[in-house]
Amino acid sequence: MSENDPYQSTGQREDEPLPRVAAADLRDAWPVLDAEARIEGFRYLTSSDAEEFFLELPAFDRATIVTGLPTAEQRWWIRALPPDDVADVIQEINEEDRSRVLSLLDDSSRREISALLAYSEDEAGGLMNPRYARLRPDMSVDEAISYLRRQTRERVESIYYAYVLDQQAHLLGVVSFRQLMMTRGDALVRDVMETDLIRVPEEMDQEALSALFAQHDFLSLPVVDANGCMKGIVTADDIVDVVREEATEDIQKIGGTAALEAPYLQVGMFDMLKKRGGWLVLLFVGEMATEGAMSHFGVAIEKAAILAFFIPLIISSGGNCGSQASTLVIRAIALGEVRLRDWWRVFARELAVGTSLGLLLGIVGFVRIMVWQNTFKNADDPTVGFYGEHWALLGATVGFSVLGVALWGTLSGALLPFALKRFGLDPATASAPLVATMVDVTGLVIYFTTAAILLHGTLL
């Protein structure tokens, strides 16, 4: 094992009946340990270290630990978590083990957690904590403060905001602890509470929810059902995790992989191959169309092999421009900066950007050929410069092709995410490799068509 082996760092395993692992050492070695070593290392922690350590772990790792321990210990650890965290852990456990782990809980927690599990993991209901501080509208501020004081003993996660509910649990308003503290003790909660508040529907998607948190700088938001009844709260610390997860998924998709859904080093080899191989084969099959296009222009290549030399340069320009445009638009859509109906504004912008970038690259391409022409000698005929007498036409062919390909790549890359979203798909599926593959065939067509026009009667 590596220098990170937690047992080596204690240095005295032989002598002690119960070796102890320092939490810091385990934390350090964690990313590179397999499931078994993690469970073993965890069991060697002192009990107070273990508790702190367990609470720091993400749901995926908590599930590994819980399912790997003897049943009595499982019960202890699963009960140490608040209900929303238990629900997250349960979702990481495979189907067979779920009901067994659920059976370790007391009845009321099991009911709460089963209710949470009915929600999808990526909607507000699946993220919320069903335990929150609640008040009645007809309480006085003094009563409210001492009532909240009692509630803190019942493992309510946050008392910073207290929600005011009627008998049927309809959400009437919210009052911050700070407001209660600033108000005369005999005032009524109903007169202090803020009634103009943001209510999150249970089924709100986590992406929309994180945009809401980012926009308003809230520490928590109430989740209500269709009848306006309060179901729980979502807190900013959970949203930090959500935003990281969403970004990870988008980044992985942009790179042309299916979302991994677990830390990189933890994904099994088979899973990794499935998530990457699927897209790669699809892209490979798509890219095969380039062979068809190339063979269509085979006569031109046979006449002037030099045309083939510029193929990678030209088609990669399209791919690069498309990759830029698609990632910018994917991110702008995810952040809510750009909406579906703004597509034509994006189109107009990218038309201008793509044309300018295409001109820039086209000129660079032409200048490159001009410089080589005048600097190097042609191997066959040293009197005509590197690219021969028709170098200017060749340069023009490359230049105009790059312009066309860059513009086409930019526009395709910018509009594909909108098209995907329009049809209910994730815009992030417009990965850099997908856009590159899509524009490669068109790039070849643009190039050889330009060549046919400009080089007819000279090279062709």
Binding residue for a copy of itself, selected from 13, 20, 24, 56, defined by CB under 8 A:
56
Q: Does 446 bind a copy of itself (CB under 8 A)?
A: no
Chain centroid to Cα 326, Å, comes to 15
Tell me the one-letter amino acid at 231.
K
Q: From the CB of 107, what's the least distance to a copy of itself, in Å?
A: 26
200-239 residues in contact with a copy of itself (CB under 8 A) are: 210, 213-219, 235-239
Binding residue for a copy of itself, selected from 63, 175, 338, 455, defined by CB under 8 A:
338
- Distance of alpha carbon 373 from alpha carbon 396, whole angstroms: 13
Size of the site for a copy of itself (CB under 8 A): 115
Binding residue for a copy of itself, selected from 46, 356, 374, 449, defined by CB under 8 A:
356
Contact 156, 132 (CB under 8 A): yes
Q: Does 65 bind a copy of itself (CB under 8 A)?
A: no
Stretch of 15-23, 96-104, 174-182, 448-456 contacting a copy of itself, by CB under 8 A: 174-182
Stretch of 6-14, 113-121, 136-144, 306-314 contacting a copy of itself, by CB under 8 A: 306-314
- Distance of alpha carbon 279 from alpha carbon 261, whole angstroms: 16
- Would you say 79 or 178 has its CB closer to a copy of itself? 178
Q: Give the CA distances from residue 359 to residues 352, 373, 404, 405, in Å, rounded to whole numbers and listed in that order.
A: 11, 21, 9, 11
Burial 69-101, CB ≥16 within 10 A → b, else e? beeeebbebbeebebbbbbbbbbbbeeeebeeb
Binding residue for a copy of itself, selected from 10, 22, 39, 58, defined by CB under 8 A:
58
Could you tell me where the beta strands, DSSP code E, fall in 225-285?
230-235
Contact 142, 185 (CB under 8 A): yes
Q: From the CB of 351, what's the least distance to a copy of itself, in Å?
A: 12
Strand partners, 188: 140
Structure tokens, 125: 């209901």
Residue whose entry in the numeric block shows the structure tokens 């189907």: 95
76-115 residues in contact with a copy of itself (CB under 8 A) are: none
Binding residue for a copy of itself, selected from 149, 170, 377, 456, defined by CB under 8 A:
149
Q: Does 159 bind a copy of itself (CB under 8 A)?
A: yes
Q: From the CB of 161, what's the least distance to a copy of itself, in Å?
A: 10
Q: Does 352 bind a copy of itself (CB under 8 A)?
A: yes
Q: Give the CA distances from residue 422 to residues 211, 216, 347, 349, 356, in Å, rounded to whole numbers and listed in that order.
A: 20, 28, 15, 20, 28
Stretch 366-405: interaction string toward a copy of itself, x if CB under 8 A: --x---------------------------------x---
18-47 residues in contact with a copy of itself (CB under 8 A) are: 31-32
Could you tell me where the beta strands, DSSP code E, fall in 177-293?
200-201, 220-224, 230-235
Stretch of 9-17, 65-73, 164-172, 292-300 contacting a copy of itself, by CB under 8 A: 292-300
- Would you say 67 or 324 has its CB closer to a copy of itself? 324
Phi then psi for residue 217, to 5 deg, are: 55, 45
Q: Does 315 bind a copy of itself (CB under 8 A)?
A: yes
